[in-house]
Amino acid sequence: MGCKGQGVFAGKRVLVAGMARSGVAAAALLSGIGAKVTIYDQKGEEELAEALKPLEKLPIEKALGREPELLGYDLLVTSPGIPLSAPILKNAAQKGLKVIGELELASRLCSAPIIAVSGTNGKTTTVTLLGEIFKNAGRLSFVVGNVGLPFSQEVPKIRPEDIVIAEVSSFQLETVESFHPEISLLLNITEDHLNRHGTMEEYIRLKARIFENQSGEDCVILNLDDRSLRGLAPKARCKVAYFSLEKPVEYGCFLEEGYVAFAEKGEVKRIVMADEIRLPGRHNLQNALCAAAAAMIAGVPAPVIRHTLKTFAGVEHRIEIVRTLNGVTYINDSKGTNVDASIMAVRAMKAGSVLIAGGYDKHTDFLPFAQEIAKSRIHAAVLIGETRGQIESALREAGFLGVHEASGFKEAVLLAGSLAKPGENVLLSPACASFDMFRDYEERGRVFKEIVNAL
């Protein structure tokens, strides 16, 4: 075991709530360091059989399909998917039972420095890019968190000389206490998850928790072009760096005469020409600037960063070309789980396109998305899921009339393919979460690719 401070949990009675990936990983980690673990989920054991396989041989008690009595526990570790308003967490608070999240647990036991990345969009691309930069620099890095690989799962493998790059969501930041990255990155803030957080003010407050325990020589990197993030700087008790597409910065990365440049202590170092960066789109240029700033601050040589930015091709489910069939190119942007992310994908379409959109309702305003579609190369939209009526209303308000509906996902892909002409694209970019039809955006993207590859 490579865990620090593991003795704190030995012999403690810990309830782990939520048996998705992070909850299962937390239960396994705690059991491995000597805690007496009970797992809880609203779902029954039969329904969770596949998910619970990693725990089969561990001495773990189960309270599945029923809420357990909370007396006698020393700690409750919750999965990010469970809101603080859930009955089990409200009951724990009323009884004075300490509640932390899986991110907090893993960070307490992690022996390596942490770079944490948050924001509404671009997190997965940025953490994956940083992982490649550190790998190319010869440093063993662990890319964990909301990106799909639970932090708790990797903690036992991590050594003090390694580095952790964690994608951190607002859901995870609800339940942190001592979480302390050496470098934190906030990419952008746009409307998202208001069904859970209620207001933009609360959403921004939670995002800012990423740097609340940073001080001294620690560093938070903020998007200077985002007013909400720029306004967080006075709250930081650590060094503040910036990245910007629009203006020079004193500390961090910006564009200088077509180059990505890093400024520090009055010196400016050019890293790479912006048009040599392989990732497409203005939003990815922002991601590259932020990642380059973090890597430079962490001491990675500029030539390593240059090479990685010129060769890194992106991540699965984010404007990912699946195949071209009969002249039509199918593009998987299942990672477009909110309006702003899907606007970026729509802007990236340089040819006529048919859009597939819709999904789980997160109580967001679709009019900005509709207005972007109306002035883009999209000529038809196939709508699915809970939100299809809301998106159709927004599109008609924006003057876009090429609206079609599909009752199922496969039907939507087939219909979109029939509406696209040779030389055009079919773009899956839902602007919504997937929970009304799929387990997560990854499953939605995989199913899309399976359907397309079977055509």
pLDDT in tens, 45-63: 999 999 999 999 999 999 9
Is 127 within the bounds of a domain?
yes
In whole angstroms, what is the distance from residue 7 CA to residue 229 CA?
A: 38
Per-residue pLDDT at 4: 81
Q: What's the pLDDT at 313?
A: 83
Contact at 8 Å (CB) between 30 and 77? yes
pLDDT: which is higher, 324 or 313: 324
What is the pLDDT confidence band of residue 122, given thresholds at 50, 70 and 90?
Answer: confident
Is 3 within the bounds of a domain?
A: no
Residue 326 has pLDDT above 50, yes or no: yes
DSSP symbols for 182-246:
SEEEE----S--HHHH-SHHHHHHHHHGGGTT--EEEEEEEETT-HHHHTTGGG-SEEEEEEESS
Q: Are residues 390 and 286 in the same domain?
A: no
Model confidence pLDDT, tens digit, residues 25-45: 999 999 999 999 999 999 999
Q: Which residues of 324-349 are buried (b: 16+ CB within 10 A; e: fewer)?
A: eeeebbbbbbbbbbbbbbbbbbbebb
Percent of the chain with pLDDT over 90: 81
Q: What is the number of alpha carbons within 13 Å of residue 210 lying toward its C-beta?
A: 30
pLDDT value of residue 397: 97
Together in a domain, 110 and 90: no
Burial class (CB in 10 A: 0-12, 13-18, 19+), 56: exposed
Which pair of structure tokens corresponds to residue 393?
């209303």
| Final residue belonging to a domain, choices 50, 68, 97 | 97
Q: What are phi and psi of 114, to 5 degrees?
A: -120, 130
Which residues make beta-bridge pairs with 381? 355, 403
Identify whether 241 is part of a domain. Answer: yes
- Banded model confidence at residue 114, pLDDT cuts 50, 70, 90: very high
Q: What is the secondary structure of 134-201 as a DSSP string?
A: HHHTT--EEEEETTSS-HHHHGGG--TTSEEEEE--HHHHTT-SS---SEEEE----S--HHHH-SHH
Tell me, what's the pLDDT at 1? 45
Domain membership of residue 2 (yes or no) is: no
CATH number at residue 73: 3.40.50.720
Cα 310 to its chain centre, rounded Å, is 23
Domain finish residue from 97, 120, 155: 97
Identify whether 381 is part of a domain: yes
Whether residues 275 and 360 fall in one domain = no
- What are 426's strand-pairing partners? 330, 354
Question: Do residues 243 and 252 make contact, with C-beta atoms less than 8 angstroms apart?
Answer: yes
Q: Which domain holds residue 369?
A: 320-454
Report, as an integer, the average pLDDT of 417-438: 94
- 250 and 341, same domain (yes or no): no
Around 89, how many Cα atoms within 13 Å sit in the side-chain half-sphere? 18
pLDDT higher than 90, residue 150: yes
What is the average pLDDT score of the chain? 93
Q: Is the CB of residue 356 less than 8 Å from the CB of residue 427?
A: yes
pLDDT at 191: 61
Same structural domain, 249 and 367: no
Question: How far is residue 144 CA from its own chain's centroid?
Answer: 10
Domain co-membership, 164 together with 238: yes
In a domain? residue 28: yes
Ranking 141-150, 218-227, 381-390, 426-435 by mean pLDDT, the lowest is 141-150
- CATH code for the domain in which residue 226 is found: 3.40.1190.10
**Same-domain status, 400 and 335:** yes
pLDDT in tens, 184-238: 999 998 765 566 656 888 889 999 999 999 999 999 999 999 998 999 999 999 9
Q: Which candidate, 336, 332, 399, 397, places its Cα nearest to that of 362? A: 336
Q: Domain for residue 250, yes or no?
A: yes
Judged by average pLDDT, the poorest of 97-101, 193-197, 305-309 is 193-197
- Statement: residue 315 has pLDDT above 90: no
Instruction: Please state the pTM of the whole predicted model.
Output: 0.80
State the CATH number of the domain containing residue 448: 3.90.190.20
Total domain count, the chain:
3
Asked whether residue 291 falls in the same domain as residue 368, the answer is no
Residue 412 has pLDDT above 80, yes or no: yes
For the chain, what percentages of helix, strand and coil (3-state, to nearest 5) are there?
35, 25, 40
- Domain membership of residue 1 (yes or no) is no
How many residues belong to the chain? 455
Span of 174-188, 310-324, 391-405 with lowest mean pLDDT: 310-324
Q: Are residues 304 and 437 in the same domain?
A: no
Q: What are the C-alpha distances in Å from 65 to residues 42, 44, 53, 95, 302? A: 5, 4, 17, 21, 53
Which H helix or E strand runs over 340? helix 339-347
Judge whether 202 and 131 are in contact, CB under 8 Å.
no
Mean pLDDT for 376-384 is 97
Mean pLDDT of 358-373: 92
> Same structural domain for residues 82 and 116?
no
Same structural domain for residues 74 and 194? no
* DSSP-derived secondary structure for 76-135: EEE-TTS-TTSHHHHHHHHTT--EEEHHHHHHHH--S-EEEEESSSSHHHHHHHHHHHHH
Q: Is 403 helix (H, G, I), strand (E, B) or coil?
A: strand
Residue 348 shares a structural domain with residue 408: yes
Query: Last residue of a domain, which of 65, 97, 129?
Result: 97
* Enclosing H/E stretch for 452: helix 441-454
Q: What is the DSSP letter of 250?
A: S
Contact yes or no for 200/229 (Cβ under 8 A): no
